[in-house]
Every structure is written in C-alpha cells, then in structure tokens.
Structure 1
Amino acid sequence: MKIKEGFVLEEVGGAYLAVAVGALAGSFNGMVRLNGTGAFLWNLLNEKDYTREELVCEVVKAYENVTAEDVLPGVVAFEEKLRAAGIIED
C-alpha cells in the first residue's frame, strides 16, 4: 500500500493533518488528523509501497519496548482510517 498522489501531511500547531492538494482538493472534503505514530507511518508510505507486516516491523524497529503484537492493532486502525478516507491504495 502507499499514499495516493495528491495528498500531503502538514504539521499545524503540533498536530498532523492529511489533506488533499491540487485537483484532489476539490473532490476531497476535509482532513484526517494523525498522531505522531500515524505521521511516522504516513512518511513511510509516502516513500514507497509497504505491506502491513512491513509497517509493523518498521514501528517495532523505531520504538523501544514494543512487540509486533503491541503494534499490529494500531497499524490496522491506521490503515482502515486512511482506506476509508480514500487516501491509500494498493
């Protein structure tokens, strides 16, 4: 999966907001708010395609004292949130 073209992540007042730009800005109404881990995942997906399992591994490597079992529910929730908004594609 990866971030679709036409979406960017902005940091505004300590919050991370995913917004549409360019041609998509007219058809995508709103924004998606992400926490720091969500922003970390966004930046990964903005660079290249990742599987869910690869994202879990990246989070485990980046954060101390977490396991794949700890991380998986959050990665799934992140993926579902962005899929529902039409922001990520396979």
Structure 2
Amino acid sequence: MKIKEGYVINKLGGGYVVVTVGDASRDFNGLIRLNNAGAFLWENIRDGLNTKEKLIRAMLDYYDDLDEETARKDLDEFLEVVEFAIEE
C-alpha cells in the first residue's frame, strides 16, 4: 500500500490534517483530521511501510503499552478513514 499522489499531511495546532494538492483536489475536496497515532501511521506508510504486518510491528515497537489485537483494530479503523487516499 502507498499514499496516493497529491495527499499531504500538515501539523495544525495540536493535531494533523491531510489535504489534497494539485489533481487530487478533483477527487477529494476536504480534509482528514488525524490524531498523533493516525499521523504516525500516515507517515510510516508514506515512508515505505507498505503492509499491515509492517505497520502493526511499527506500532508495537513505538507504543509500549499496545497489544497486537488493539493494534490490528486501530489500524483497520485508520485505514477505513483514509481508504480513498491509499492505493495498493
């Protein structure tokens, strides 16, 4: 998986927003708000972690008190929110 071209993340106040630039603005004209965990996942996908298993491993390594079941659930919820910005 990877982030489609034209979707960028920006820090805004205490959180993050994903917006579109260029041609991507024709397909999505809005923004996505992400918390710190969402931004962590977005940035890891952007940086090349391209499978669920790699992302789960990164989450478990980064968050000390996170168990695998919760990581899988949280990742699935995140991917549902940003599905239109992700391609396989």
Q: Same fold (TM over 0.5)?
A: yes
Mapping 1:1-90, distance limit 5 Å: 1-83=1-83, 86-90=84-88
Structure 1, residues 25-82: CA drift from partner, whole Å, max 9, x if none?
2431111111100000000111115111211110000011211112111100001111
Q: Which amino acid aligns with 1:89?
A: E
Equivalent AA in structure 2 for residue 61 of structure 1: D
Amino acid at match of 1:39: A
Separation in structure 1 between the aligned mates of residue 24 and residue 70 of structure 2, nearest angstrom: 35
Provide the alpha-carbon RMSD of the alignment. 1.1
**Equivalent-residue separation in structure 2 for 1:65 and 1:36 (angstroms):** 15
What residue ranges of structure 1 are gaps of 5+ in the alignment?
Answer: none
> What secondary structure sits across from 2:23 in the alignment?
helix
Normalising by structure 1, report the TM-score: 0.90
Q: Which secondary structure does the structure 1 equivalent of 2:82 belong to?
A: helix
TM-score, with normalisation over the residues of structure 2? Answer: 0.92
Query: After the TM superposition, which segments of 4 or more aligned residues of structure 1 sit over 4 Å from their partners?
Result: none
CA distance in 2, matches of 1:45, 1:2: 6
Aligned-residue sequence identity (percent) comes to 38
